[in-house]
Structure 1
Amino acid sequence: MTYRECYEKGCLALQTAGIEEATLDARLLLEAVCGTNRNDLLAHGEQLVTPEAEEKYLGWIGQRAEHIPLQQLTGEQDFMGLTFAVNEHVLIPRQDTEILVEEVLKQLHDGMRVLDMCTGSGCILLSLLHYSNACEGLGVDLSADALEVAEQNAETLLDAANADRVHFLQSDLFDKVEGKFEIIVSNPPYIASAEVEKLMPEVRDHEPRMALDGTEDGLHFYRRIIEEAGKHLVSSGMLFFEIGYDQGQAVSELMRTEGYREVQVVQDYAGLDRVVFGTYVTVQPAPFAKSR
């Protein structure tokens, strides 16, 4: 079978299965199998594909037709100009989350300590360390399987100087966390439980539910993190969150109630609320007035 015939067969199978962007996915899977690029379809469409590559490609097409995410088939996803390993144990990094990383980078200075709560693949923390100097990072997640992926990404993406500055910890949020940090960042589960069932099957059925489900109203993990984060922030330390498009006001109020100041909401490129951050201020009790 030729390169073009493989592609056309993949397109038809994915279109029949109702896959969004079927033609794009068919091409990307073929490129991943054959080690080619987007120009090869035009320039070398008549080139024969080896039987081994054809078998692998059609196998991937069959799995993609069952709504298994493309990134889980190829095992990777680009994020912040870096290529991260992913599998069924971690959320696939989204472009929207790059907004969160960019906002943190504006406040991140050399030598700071960063805590990434609910680290998953490590894409947030490792991007921050890659694009900064001499910062230290701790990635925390409840899932041991997710932490294995994060550690693999750290080994692949960080140079020797930075590799010793990142650590990962299995913990139920702050239960096992020690020390203080200049910045805490988190992309926690924030989808209301009832809404999870309405997600596209690629997400609902194939990405880890524990990384999606924010319980009844989607705010459970924001409440817990905001209540505990102050104990682990230095004076005037900052807390950053990714949020759902309709959660900006609620998360902002939760932060203000717990003593955060200069709370801001940042929108993504679609004009939707995407990031909330603020500075933690310890309120000192007013001194007793002296009796006369």
Structure 2
Amino acid sequence: MTKTINDVYMELFHRLKEADDPQPSLSARELTAYACKADKNKTGEWGHLYLDDATVDYAHLLCDKCLDGEPLAYILGEWDFYGLTFLVDKNVLIPRADTEPLCEMVIEQAKKKVSPRILDLCCGSGCIGIAAAHTVKDAHVTAVDNSEGALRITRENARRLGVQNRLIAMNADVRFRPPVNMGQYDIIVSNPPYVTRAEMRELDRSVYHYEPHEALYGGVDGLDFYRSICSKWGSLLVTGGIILFECGWQQANDVAAILEENRFAGIGITEDLAGVPRIVYGYNTEIDDPLE
């Protein structure tokens, strides 16, 4: 029996719903559109478009992967963040809506500057820095990660979103001192690895088995990267510049204390969309010598 795109969507929807997928309608729509090369924004047409058997089988194969725990974003190879579509693969964490308020704060700060320089540490897919460069047309971004796989994704995302001429992707490990001659930045932002040793054992299966552990694990207490960035990379911030972090749901006060220990001032904590204290920031008002 010949099936329409809508028939396949309904089949996937029922399979996902029976398996207790948290968003069966969204997952089924995304998988169906991807497998059938259909426009997910024109589902009204799906009941009139017929498919060959191979396409139907492919849609169900993708659904099998989803039911086996593989994240939808990795199956699709892309995910939306801050109104933009980013390429993702297993070299990078999937961009999450929880990070959008951090991105918004970076953009707000960048708009106050002329040709702002932004340093995005532990950049992963590059979503924060690229979204900032895409929104603030005179911003220049240096995106840093110690994974060549992540940097490849960052460069491709920058190219696809038209900001490749204002973004440099650099391989460096933020646990060590920065390369020489990087200059100084108006804004430093980082969503670093912050999962604790205990939390790693409790991660959801889809995260633990598919997302890169090196982008998740932040040391025994989850704070290793905050300590290194503040102590080793803080000198790259101009006087009056701002540093912003995302952190775990119980880490905000500890990250704020690390900023204070490293002589940052005006330290504040902001909540994410769910009301969780997730963003910690501070200003450089004391470091004048970038080599200090």
Same fold (TM over 0.5): yes
Q: Name the counterpart of 2:15.
A: 13
Partner of 1:163: 164
1:192 aligns with 2:196: yes
For 1:36, the equivalent position in structure 2 comes to 39
Q: Where does structure 2 lack aligned partners over 5 or more consecutive residues?
A: none
Give the conservation status (yes or no) of the 8 Å contact 1:187–1:241: yes
Per-residue deviation, 1:16: 4.8
SS of the equivalent of 1:45 reads helix
Structure 1 or 2, whichever has the larger Rg, is 1
TM-score, normalised by the number of residues in structure 2: 0.90
Shift of 1:18: 4.4
Counterparts of 1:256 and 1:280, CA distance in 2: 11
Report the residue type matching 2:190 in the other structure: S
Aligned length: 280
2:173 corresponds to: 172
Name the stretch that deviates more: 115-124 or 13-22.
Answer: 13-22
Distance 2:107 2:186 in 1: 12
1:148 matched to 2:166? The reply is: no
Q: How far 1:74 moved relative to its partner?
A: 1.0
1:222 to 2:223 alignment: no
Aligned-partner residue type, residue 110 of structure 1: V
Aligned pairs for 1:94-109 (under 5 A) are: 94-108=96-110, 109=113
Residues 239-262 of structure 1: per-residue CA shift (max 9 Å, x gap): 110111211111111101111100
Distance 2:287 2:45 in 1: 66
**1:136 CA displacement:** 1.3
Q: Does the residue aligned with 1:185 lie in a helix, a strand or coil?
A: strand
**Map of 1:73 onto structure 2:** 75
Q: Distance in 2 between matches of 1:141 and 1:85?
A: 16
The 1-side partners of 2:21 and 2:88 are apart by 21
Amino acid at match of 2:95: P
Task: Give the distance between the partners of 2:287 and 2:236, measured in 1 at CA.
Answer: 15
Q: Map 1:1-292; keep pairs closer than 5 Å.
A: 1-34=3-36, 35-37=38-40, 40=43, 44-45=46-47, 47-108=49-110, 109-158=113-162, 162-173=163-174, 174-176=177-179, 178-282=182-286
Secondary structure of 2:268 counterpart: strand
Please list the CA deviations of residues 186-206 of structure 1 after superposition, one character each: whole Å capped at 9, or x if unmatched. Answer: 000011122122121221111
Kindly provide the CA deviation profile for residues 34-93 of structure 1, in whole angstroms up to 9, marking residues without a partner as x: 2133653x6643643222321221111111111111111111111111111111110111
Q: Structure 1 stretches of 5 or more lacking a match?
A: 285-292
> Partners of 1:208 and 1:283 in 2: how far apart?
34
Query: Is the CA contact (8 Å cut-off) linking 2:235 and 2:287 kept in structure 1?
Result: no
Give the residue type in structure 2 aligned to 1:36. Answer: D
Deviation at 1:98, TM superposition (A): 0.7
Q: Percentage identity across aligned positions? A: 34
Letter in 2 for 1:165: R
Q: Give deviations 1:122-153, integer Å, cap 9, x for gaps.
A: 00000111111322111000100000000000
Inter-partner Cα distance in structure 2 for 1:241 and 1:212? 15
Letter in 2 for 1:245: W
2:218 aligned counterpart, secondary structure: coil
Preserved contact between residue 99 and residue 274 of structure 1 (Cα < 8 Å):
no
Conservation of the 8 A alpha-carbon contact between 1:19 and 1:67: no
Aligned equivalents of 1:163 and 1:36: distance in 2? 27
Q: Which amino acid aligns with 1:136?
A: H
